[in-house]
Structure 1
Amino acid sequence: MTALQTALADGVTITKRNILKIRRAPDLLGGAITFPIVFVLLFAYVFGSMIELPGMSYREYMLPGIFVQTIVMSAQITGYTLTLDLQKGIFDRFRTLPMAPSAVLIGQTLGDVLMNVASLVSMALVGLVVGWRIHSAPHEAVLGFLVLLLFAYAFSWVTATVALSLRTPEVFNNIATIVSMPLVFLSNAFVDSTRLPGPLQVAAEWNPVSAVIQAIRELFGNTSAAMPVPDAWPLRHPVTATLLWSALLLIVFVPLATRLYKRAVSR
């Protein structure tokens, strides 16, 4: 087997381990499902009754934003779990096994993809109840969910890198919250970015989260011709921009996280 095949095979084994952890601690899965449902209901019935958009329902506008908010927030599970394993010394046991160094990170990030699938399914079902609909072709809708999961996977490597740099759960949670909140709320998740003042508008339009949200809005058909289209390139070509952002995050953070992991287990 090649080094890549070995790493993938070992990663699948670690993924199975993480799934077993979820079975033994169902509160992890429960939190991943309950939290986004609360946000869907909150924004649908509180803000959705107060905000009007030309040519479309606010509930259809905000659901893609909540989808992306959830995968950004859920990516913190990767980092939090890694910091816990560091403190418990589990990585010291892994170091004695004949396994690829990147397998632990591959297994953790793949496990989080499965958590994101459960979250997206629950949000989609609740979204249908509150009035959200998909107006595009089935293959476009499937592509929308795949784009979401790809970005979620790529962003998990970012949080893994941050976690391996900080090494303690408390510090990681604080830093991750400080970073993720502006990423979500300084975007087009809940408001039209063209209504923001100058510098904030530029930041929102070039925010990778905005590109992901705009991509799935278009793929789900949750757009309106009456709403202005920003001039920024990522929001005029959101699917392409999302794929480029995802590829860039993987290219940068997969080797960086792997290097930090090797350094952590060698201490």
Structure 2
Amino acid sequence: MTTVTFYPDRLPLFSRLTDSVVIARRGLLGTFRTPQAAVPALISPILFLVLFRFVFGGAIHIPGLTYVDYLVPAMLIQNIVFGGMNSATGLALDARDGILDRFRSLPTPRSAAITGRGLSDLALQLVAHLLTIVAGIAIGFRLHVGPGSCLAALGLLLLIGASLFWVFAAMGLATRNPQTVQSMTPPFFLFLFVSSAFIPVSTLPIWLQGFASNQPVTVFTDALRGLTQGPSAQQATGHPAEYFVIASLAWCAAITTLFAAAAMRSYKKM
């Protein structure tokens, strides 16, 4: 009977980072060697942006902002959610096919296989974000703040992506079945559409507004709006950027604490 040796995470920090980067490189190479997977992930955000901008934009009035300025931050959050679904499916495939067991038998930290996947997915999300922003600028999106606020928005966007990665990692590692993962995606559409992502919360039914105003997609999206559009965004969001940034940091801390522990617990049980 084959015995699998598990190597602890108590290795030098540099070693842990190096192993994670190597596994991230493997993930990126695998993605770009299969264009049928990479191209839709990068092109879909642009298609959604153009669709919402020109099909729905004329019918939606946003106080203080043009619709495209209101929309692009929502598209960036949508990139994270859609990319996370791919993360969950990929981890479920790796778990089912024994790839993660092979990583666990190597002299690397147990967490490297998961954090490496997270790094590769963040890199792909960053490319999707840049393409979305460029496409947004082409159809009228503008930044109304200085470089410092733009960098803060980028940093917050990456932090949100890293936090939500653990939600999808926990899904993939708990189910170990790509079909099951796909069947669990509808709630994420609920969070996207019952929020301020595409329309103001005030236009929703009153009984939905409480949930929509306080759920993380609304908080994340409105934080990015405040950081990219400046004071004019407050007319649309109801609070200054600082309010949503602090709330976003709290959500990121809570999500990471809860779901990183769940993901690693599922990984150790494999």
Q: What SS does structure 1 have at the residue aligned with 2:59?
A: coil
Distance 1:262 1:50 in 2: 50
Which one of the candidate residues 132, 153, 157 is aligned to 1:123?
132
Task: Give yes or no for contact 1:78–1:159 (8 Å, CA) kept in 2.
Answer: yes
Residue 213, structure 1, aligned to residue 231, structure 2 = no
**Displacement of 1:2:** 4.8
Task: Give yes or no for contact 2:65–2:236 (8 Å, CA) kept in 1.
Answer: no
Residue 152, structure 1, aligned to residue 158, structure 2 = no
Aligned twin of 1:40? 49
Q: Post-superposition, which runs of at least 4 consecutive aligned residues in structure 1 deviate over 4 A?
A: 228-231
Residue 84, structure 1, aligned to residue 101, structure 2 = no
Distance 1:225 1:91 in 2: 44
Task: Give yes or no for contact 2:62–2:200 (8 Å, CA) kept in 1.
Answer: no
**Displacement of 1:92:** 2.5
Identical counterparts, % of pairs: 32
Task: Give yes or no for contact 1:80–1:163 (8 Å, CA) kept in 2.
Answer: yes
Deviation string 1:157-216 (CA, Å, 9 cap, x unpaired) is 1111011111110110110x2121011111100111123233311101111111110111
Task: Give yes or no for contact 1:205–1:230 (8 Å, CA) kept in 2.
Answer: no
Distance 2:232 2:70 in 1: 9
**Displacement of 1:143:** 1.1
Residue 238, structure 1, aligned to residue 264, structure 2 = no
Task: Give yes or no for contact 2:144–2:229 (8 Å, CA) kept in 1.
Answer: yes
Task: Give yes or no for contact 1:37–1:123 (8 Å, CA) kept in 2.
Answer: yes
Task: Give yes or no for contact 1:230–1:236 (8 Å, CA) kept in 2.
Answer: no
Distance 1:251 1:55 in 2: 36
Aligned AA (1:169): P
Q: What SS does structure 1 have at the residue aligned with 2:159?
A: helix
Aligned AA (2:253): A
**Displacement of 1:3:** 3.4
Residue 137, structure 1, aligned to residue 146, structure 2 = yes
Aligned twin of 2:60? 51
Number of residue equivalences: 261
Task: Give yes or no for contact 1:217–1:223 (8 Å, CA) kept in 2.
Answer: no
Greater CA drift, 250-259 or 162-171 = 250-259
Aligned twin of 2:3? none
Residue 98, structure 1, aligned to residue 104, structure 2 = no
Structure 1's unaligned 5+ residue stretches are none
Distance 2:207 2:118 in 1: 34
Aligned AA (1:155): L
Distance 1:262 1:164 in 2: 10
Aligned AA (2:232): S
Report 1:105-116 matches (<5 A). 105-116=114-125
Which one of the candidate residues 16, 20, 38 is aligned to 1:11?
20
**Displacement of 1:41:** 0.5
